[in-house]
Amino acid sequence: MDDLKDVILEYVIAEYADEDDKVTFDTPLISGGLVDSFSMVSLKRFLEMKYKISIPDEDATPEAFDSVNKIADLVTRFVSKAS
Amino acid sequence: MSNIGSYDERVMSFDWSISEKELGYKAGDVINIGWYCSDRICEMGKGDKPALLWENSLGETKRYTYNDIRVCSNGISAFLRGLGLKEGDRVCLFMDRVPELYIGLLGILKIGAIAQPLFSAFGDESLFVRLENAGTSAIITQRKHASKVRKILDQLPNLKHIIVVDHDPGKELKEKEVAFSMDAQRQDKLDIYPTRAESPSLLHYTSGTTGMPKGVQHVHYSLISQYLTAKWVLDLTENDIYWCTADPGWVTGTSYGIISPWALGVTQVVLDSGFSAENWYRFIEKYRVTVWYSAPTAIRSLMKAGDEVVKKFGLSCLRHLVSVGEPLNAEAVVWSEKVFGLPFLDSYWQTETGSIMITNYPGMKVKPGSMGKPFPGIVGTIVDPDTYEPITEAGKIGLIAFRPGWPAMMRTYWKNEETYKNKFKNGWYLPGDRSRIDQEGYFWFVGRDDDIINTAGHLVSPFEVESALLEHPAVAESAVVSKPDEINMEVVKAFVTLKPGYSISEELELEIMNFIRKKLSPLAMPQEVEYVDTLPKTRSGKIMRRLLHAREWGEEIGDTSTLEND
């Protein structure tokens, strides 16, 4: 789980954060304006590709994507389902 | 009783002088939007009234009275003048929704310079083409966005100053950067530049179907339209708390998110934060928002969040809801009436028109799904696409057309007079949309008349995305169209052929998506990239987007006689 969180955090920082943004596992991503609803599509695509899962649109809500911790929970749920 | 009263009576007796009189303006007078939005309200004895209540995603808040925005905008004006900036210079605002963005606009206008607001999510390529086209002299930004400016600075010889509003004294300023603190550099007195009715005020960029973005030039006289439409359509009154959710990088965010509410002396609230249904409802409850101007994409996102979350908050403060940006579907109108006890009223206009053109009004019968009727004083109809003659038959589809002459009409496209002239046919201004009019005079939106993609109320040029795609090393050819989307109405879809040596993969698709997101903007990012062996082309080699669009929307593909590989 920690490894998964680190991977997601690293990706979020590399792809979406600006120079001065300080992103932690709990930083609000969507409600904080770091990742908008359009960019969320690319983040979802990354997660699906990386973890070989499919996240249905009804589960890919702004709330479920609002922090690295929440995303990790979501991914873990679908990885467990897939295995 | 609403401000407009009877729509039909207003139409019968309308004259723009109603607005001029209320604003105390006479033909030939000095008219400066910056003064009207701050100094005038203070002179009316409302200097202590809150003008802006601001909150960000961290829960930090700021409060500015009308006197605050007067002296803060004066301070910005004085600072700009100190840098040698003057009337006619283009000064870009490139910031998140921070107070400096809202008040900065007034500061730029007060020295007679032209404000060029740009959406802060733009990537460096989108930023570059707009700054280069405008010959922008200065950009006001935050340190988080300054890195995008640095990347393109060498290619922008006209750009002399990068003004950073939140500079960290512990860090070094880079080339051409200068620090400015709005709250610390307030100024009581200022000689406001005496702009006149036709003096340029704003330069908003909008997407073109076959060319690069166009700079839509507005003038200070636009205030006359913006003031009265806000008063009659948004129904703003002395005691309202008003929330316009649009970003001032787009025209709604300036015409109705800065200029008109402040010219009316209304208190407005701003939430500088991303979207979350719960957070939005909490914000409305906390600030007791009464009038709410939002967009169909946001409304559909709220619908998706469900009805239960609405019940957690006290939203009885709301009294009037209006929507803009793209057609508001009937389901959203019905839903808002169910959960808020109020229908969202749809309004229609565009960057070029500068103010609301067709809309639903307080007190007038609402037909869910309809755009409503033309604003009093606006002569609007639909015309035949071949003859440009008005269509009188109810229900028949034609091009939306307006008689030019309302105060907020754009005056030209920046350095592109030819394209501007092409917007007029047979004495009508054509915004590029199709509609029908029913027997009672209500307009019903049908669609765009060109290839422009309207995603979440923002226009994206397929040409601009296709051009950017070709800069990716793997892409040989590209075609971009819209595809249907439940929330955003349309989203961008790209079809690409690959160069030799590259092969199809999910990784490459994601790489291409992110490439466009960073280069142009998240709005322009294809939500899907489809690999194809060839793109449909005419015999002269032009890509036939029409065929790809028809496929995405399940429509008839029509005439294919010019198809190359038919």
pLDDT digits (tens, 9 = 90+) for B338-359: 999 999 999 999 999 999 999 9
Q: β-strands B267-272, B241-244: how paired?
A: parallel
Lowest mean pLDDT among B18-27, B177-186, B327-336: B327-336
Q: What is the structure's pLDDT at B1?
A: 85
- Asked if the model's pLDDT at residue B297 lies above 80, the reply is yes
> Are B274 and A42 inside 8 Å of each other by CB?
no
Residues of B with CB under 8 A from a CB of A: 57-58, 96, 121, 143-145, 147, 272-279, 301, 304-305, 455-456, 487-488, 491, 506-507, 509-510, 513-514, 517, 522-523, 525, 527
What are the strands, taking DSSP E only, across B380-452? Answer: 380-383, 398-402, 412-413, 424-425, 428-429, 433-437, 443-448
What confidence score (pLDDT) does residue B448 get?
Answer: 83
Q: What is the pLDDT of residue B134?
A: 98
Q: How many CB atoms lie within 10 A of CB B76?
A: 29
- Radius of gyration over every alpha carbon of chain A, rounded to an integer in angstroms: 12
Which of A21, A36, A42 is nearest residue B274 as measured by Cβ atoms? A36
- The angle that helices A37-51 and A2-16 make with each other, rounded to 10 degrees, is 140
Res B92: pLDDT: 98
A47 touches B at CB < 8 Å = no
Distance CA B286, CA B283 (A): 5
Residue B563's pLDDT band, with cuts at 50, 70 and 90, is low
Helices (H), B323-407: 330-340
Partner residue opposite B514 with nearest CB, options A15, A37, A61: A15
Q: What is the mean pLDDT of residues B469-491?
A: 93
What pLDDT digit, counting tens, does each position of B125-159 carry?
999 999 999 999 999 999 999 999 999 999 999 99
What is the per-residue pLDDT for B6?
96
Closest chain B residue to A22 measured between Cα atoms?
B144
Contact across the interface for A42 and B517, Cβ inside 8 Å: yes
A33 CA: distance to closest CA in chain B (Å): 4
CB B214 within 8 A of CB B134: no
- In three-state secondary structure terms, B546 is helix
Whose CA is closest to B218, among B188, B193, B190, B255?
B255
pLDDT in tens, B405-458: 999 999 999 999 999 999 999 999 999 999 999 999 999 999 888 888 999 988
> Has residue B401 got a pLDDT over 70?
yes
Asked whether the predicted pLDDT for residue B542 surpasses 80, the reply is no
Tens of pLDDT, residues B61-99: 999 999 999 999 999 999 999 999 999 999 999 999 999
| Residue whose C-alpha is closest to residue B80's, from B18, B201, B200, B162 | B162
Mean pLDDT score, A43-59: 94
Query: By CB neighbour count within 10 A (0-12 exposed, 13-18 middle, 19+ buried), where does B15 fall?
Result: exposed
Report chain A residues whose CB lies below 8 A from the CB of B491. 38
- Residue A1, pLDDT score: 66
**pLDDT at residue number B373:** 98
Q: What is the pLDDT of residue B538?
A: 79
Higher pLDDT, B352 or B543: B352
Q: Sort out which chain A residues have CB atoms less than 8 A from B507's CB and list them.
A: 49
Whole-model pTM?
0.91
Mean pLDDT, range A58-79, rounded to an integer? 93
Q: What is the pLDDT, as a whole number, of residue B283?
A: 98
Mean pLDDT of chain B: 95
Query: Which residues of chain A have a CB within 8 Å of the CB of B278?
Result: 63
Q: Where does the pLDDT of residue A80 fall: very low under 50, low under 70, confident under 90, or very high at 90 and above? A: confident
* Residue in chain B nearest A29 by alpha carbon: B274
- Among B51-60, B93-102, B209-218, B458-467, the range scoring the smallest mean pLDDT is B209-218
The three-state secondary structure class of B276 is coil
Q: Which of A13, A24, A34, A37 best tests the B interface by mutation, with the highest count of B CBs <10 A?
A: A37
Ranked by mean pLDDT, the top range of A31-35, B3-7, B297-301 is: B3-7
Q: What's the pLDDT band for B566 if we cut at 50, 70, 90?
A: very low
pLDDT at B565: 58
